[in-house]
């Protein structure tokens, strides 16, 4: 996929997972017209929903550790270590289904699957291939309009998507995990589902003792799922998230109740981390080499503020000036890669091959 093509599709890819855009929709006529164009004409019905995924079918996974796929991508100097990794990653992709033809994606939608692979497996899930075996299910994701529409069809579409996420997670645990510790990660719509998944399937179960950490990035999370917020770089059994913006960004994801963990310091203290702490932003469409020092970061009022981006490779702003949502992973790629390895090492040092209810540090 060319850089130009990838830039164009990026406008729709991760934007689609934004439930918080509803208030923008009411105020912005242009966005209102766009939503009218992409909202399905028909109401959601169970009869019209696409066939459910069969997670025994490898085609219903965007990434699996024992096959070649775009989650295997690495920047210069990094290594894909999935073949020998002692822990797993369960990754939930953001919305890549932009069609007005249905409320949920069909799993045989080749164009949407390609978008998921090119944009998300390559640009986001690959962050974790140095530490973990990557399992990333496809699911009947809700289309973009579901995040603007306040009617029953939208809520049912999101509920259907979540049923697939639960089914995929249970299949993964039964058939793939084999008792290994795991990391949970996601972005945007995927993080919405991960929020529910932690509350419904992990908290209060033996799986909580095997979850090294969760990275449900790019969504409004307030901690009500029951998972503690990570306060140090090597704490385990906890969650981190952030929403990246610049000084002139609008009010998207602006609730002060949102969790914000700084991906340059891995703390919630609100301190400014200078761009010298940035080990490398990575935009694989623009080249394989990490770019150190591209962005600083500071948590303020529930959002992650970046004062300036020192590269021309992160200039696409589909959500408006200074909204860096589509770069939540890219701007801090090498720091995330280093941090998840540090949490894995800390977890294994405590538990070895026999995970038990952990003691956070």
Per residue in 112-126, pLDDT (tens digit) is 999 999 999 999 999
Tell me: pLDDT of 279 over 70: yes
Give the integer Cα–Cα distance in Å for 163 and 123.
26
Residue 44: the pLDDT is 79
Residue 6: the pLDDT is 41
Tell me: pLDDT of 5 over 70: no
Tell me: pLDDT of 353 over 80: no
Q: Please compute the mean of the pLDDT values over residues 332-358 and round it to a whole number.
A: 87
How crowded is residue 264: how many other Cβ atoms within 10 Å of its Cβ? 23
% of the chain residues with pLDDT over 70: 87
Q: Please compute the mean of the pLDDT values over residues 156-169 and round it to a whole number.
A: 97
Looking at every residue in the chain, the average pLDDT score rounds to 88
Give the integer Cα–Cα distance in Å for 326 and 15.
7
Three-state DSSP at 323 gives strand
Q: Please compute the mean of the pLDDT values over residues 49-56 and round it to a whole number.
A: 95
DSSP H helical ranges for 39-181? 110-115, 152-172
Per-residue pLDDT tens over the stretch 231-258: 999 999 999 999 999 999 888 778 999 9
CA neighbor of 313 nearest in space, from 106, 50, 7:
7
Residue 146: the pLDDT is 78
C-alpha Rg value of the chain to the nearest Å: 19
Angle (CA) 79 207 361, round 5° = 70
Per-residue pLDDT tens over the stretch 251-260: 877 899 999 9
Residue 13: the pLDDT is 42
Tokens linked to 278: 């940035």
Tell me: pLDDT of 172 over 50: yes
Most confident of 33-37, 101-105, 278-282: 278-282
Tokens linked to 236: 């385990």
DSSP H helical ranges for 39-184? 110-115, 152-172
Higher pLDDT, residue 323 or 360:
323
Give the integer Cα–Cα distance in Å for 111 and 273.
39
Picking from 10-19, 300-309, 330-339, 341-350, which range would have the lowest pLDDT averaged per residue?
Answer: 10-19
Residue 241 contacts residue 216 (beta carbons within 8 Å):
yes
Distance of CA 357 to the CA centre of its chain: 26
Higher pLDDT, residue 135 or 30:
135
DSSP H helical ranges for 89-246? 110-115, 152-172, 189-197
Residue 151: the pLDDT is 79
Per-residue pLDDT tens over the stretch 33-51: 767 777 887 887 876 889 9
pTM: 0.90
How crowded is residue 225: how many other Cβ atoms within 10 Å of its Cβ? 18
Q: Please compute the mean of the pLDDT values over residues 203-223 and round it to a whole number.
A: 97
Q: pLDDT band at 21, cuts 50/70/90?
A: very low
Residue-wise over 303-331: b if at least 16 C-beta within 10 A, else e? bbbbeebeeebbeebebeebbbbbbbbbb
Q: Please compute the mean of the pLDDT values over residues 293-299 and round it to a whole number.
A: 98
Residue 26: the pLDDT is 41
CA dihedral for 25, 30, 31, 33, sign (positive or negative): positive
Residue-wise over 198-219: b if at least 16 C-beta within 10 A, else e? beebbeeeebbebbbbbbbbbb
Each domain of the chain, given as residue ranges in start order, spans 3-351
Tell me: pLDDT of 357 over 50: no
Higher pLDDT, residue 11 or 44:
44
Residue 80: the pLDDT is 98
Give the integer Cα–Cα distance in Å for 152 and 146.
10
* Coarse DSSP helix, strand, coil percentages of the chain, rounded to the nearest 5 percent: 35, 15, 50
Place of tokens 């079918």: 57
Residue 110: the pLDDT is 96
Tell me: pLDDT of 22 over 70: no
Q: Please compute the mean of the pLDDT values over residues 70-75 and round it to a whole number.
A: 98
Give the integer Cα–Cα distance in Å for 212 and 343.
7
Give the integer Cα–Cα distance in Å for 261 and 243.
9
Residue 103 contacts residue 153 (beta carbons within 8 Å):
yes
Three-state DSSP at 305 gives strand
Q: Which residues contact 268 (CB under 8 A, 6 or more apart)?
A: 229, 230, 231, 259, 260, 261, 262, 299
């Amino acid at each position: 996929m060319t850089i130009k093509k990838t830039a164009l599709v990026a406008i729709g890819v991760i934007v689609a997972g934004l439930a918080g855009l509803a208030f923008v929709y009411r105020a912005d006529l242009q966005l209102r017209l766009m939503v009218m164009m992409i909202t399905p004409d028909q109401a959601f019905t169970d009869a019209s929903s696409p066939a459910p995924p069969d997670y025994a079918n490898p085609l219903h996974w965007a990434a699996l550790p024992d096959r070649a796929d775009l989650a295997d991508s690495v920047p210069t100097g990094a290594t894909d270590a999935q073949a020998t990794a002692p822990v797993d990653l369960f990754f939930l992709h953001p919305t890549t289904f932009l069609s007005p033809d249905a409320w949920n994606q069909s799993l045989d939608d080749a164009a949407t699957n390609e978008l998921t692979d090119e944009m998300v497996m390559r640009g986001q899930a690959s962050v974790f291939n140095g530490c973990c075996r990557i399992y990333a299910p496809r699911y009947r994701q809700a289309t973009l309009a579901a995040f603007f529409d306040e009617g029953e069809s939208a809520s049912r579409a999101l509920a259907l998507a979540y049923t697939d996420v639960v089914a995929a997670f249970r299949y993964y645990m039964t058939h793939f995990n084999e008792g290994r510790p795991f990391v949970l990660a996601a972005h945007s719509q995927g993080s919405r589902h991960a929020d529910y998944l932690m509350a419904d399937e992990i908290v209060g179960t033996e799986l909580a003792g095997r979850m090294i950490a969760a990275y449900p990035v790019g969504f409004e999370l307030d901690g009500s799922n029951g998972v503690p917020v990570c306060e140090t770089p090597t704490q385990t059994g906890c969650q981190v998230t952030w929403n990246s913006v610049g000084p002139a960004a609008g009010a998207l994801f602006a609730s002060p109740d949102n969790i914000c963990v700084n991906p340059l310091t891995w703390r919630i203290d609100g301190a400014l981390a200078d761009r010298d702490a940035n080990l490398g932003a990575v935009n694989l469409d623009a080249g394989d080499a990490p770019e150190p020092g591209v962005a600083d970061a500071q948590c303020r009022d529930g959002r992650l503020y970046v004062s300036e981006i020192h590269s021309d490779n992160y200039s696409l702003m589909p959500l408006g000036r200074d909204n860096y949502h589509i770069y939540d992973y890219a701007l801090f790629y090498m720091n995330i890669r280093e941090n998840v390895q540090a949490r894995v090492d800390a977890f294994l040092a405590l538990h070895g091959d026999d995970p038990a209810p952990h003691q956070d540090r």
